Structure 1
Amino acid sequence: MQKSFPLIESLIDDLMAGPGYKDLSAEKKTAMADKLRGHIEGLIIESFINRLTEEQAKELRELLTSPEALEEKFEVYAATIPGLAQDVEGRIRREFEMLKALA
């Protein structure tokens, strides 16, 4: 089980405490949380990709064989692309609101 960002962990904990999930076994909650992390990571990557210029996308493609360099580049883009962090956070929160509504 890999932990991610505090915001995501907080939202997962909140969701797992809700009526649709609170009675699941610890094992099932852990499995569900891992799946949610993977899903949210996909949303984050999609949000990044949608905001990149062609040149930035090319730079990322060149770094695909180096996970450390790729992660560093993502951090640079997150800090330098205006509004990106807010867009990602908003998308994550909306996703969890939809998941809560389904429970």
Structure 2
Amino acid sequence: MFKVYLSDIKYNQVIKDKSNKENYYDVYTFLRVEGKKIIGKEYQDKWVRKDSEFQNSLPEMIEGSFYNVEIGFNGKISKILPYETEQDFINKYSNNSAISESNS
């Protein structure tokens, strides 16, 4: 998994298939991040077809937010997950019940 920054979203981009039918895509542009710093100027676009299984599996995509991405064997983004800080992870998976001590 790689931490990335979602720098740009382009909605409803049109690509025509072989039968000249229009297909609509959202395009997400990611920049690689290490720590809290954007590394280099290289970017990777992910074209996601509207109403696809991949589109339906996406978290809420907000420009300017951080995400974790998984890269497949083909070098393309195969999974996008919301980025959680270590504290977010602890809060999400810790037991929220109050602990009380008794000296009786």
Which of structures 1 and 2 has the bigger CA Rg? 2
Normalised TM-score (structure 1): 0.20
Q: TM-score, normalising length from structure 2?
A: 0.20
Higher-helix-fraction structure: 1
Q: Which has the higher contact order (CA 8 A, sep 6+)?
A: 1
Write 1 or 2 for the structure with the bigger share of strand. 2
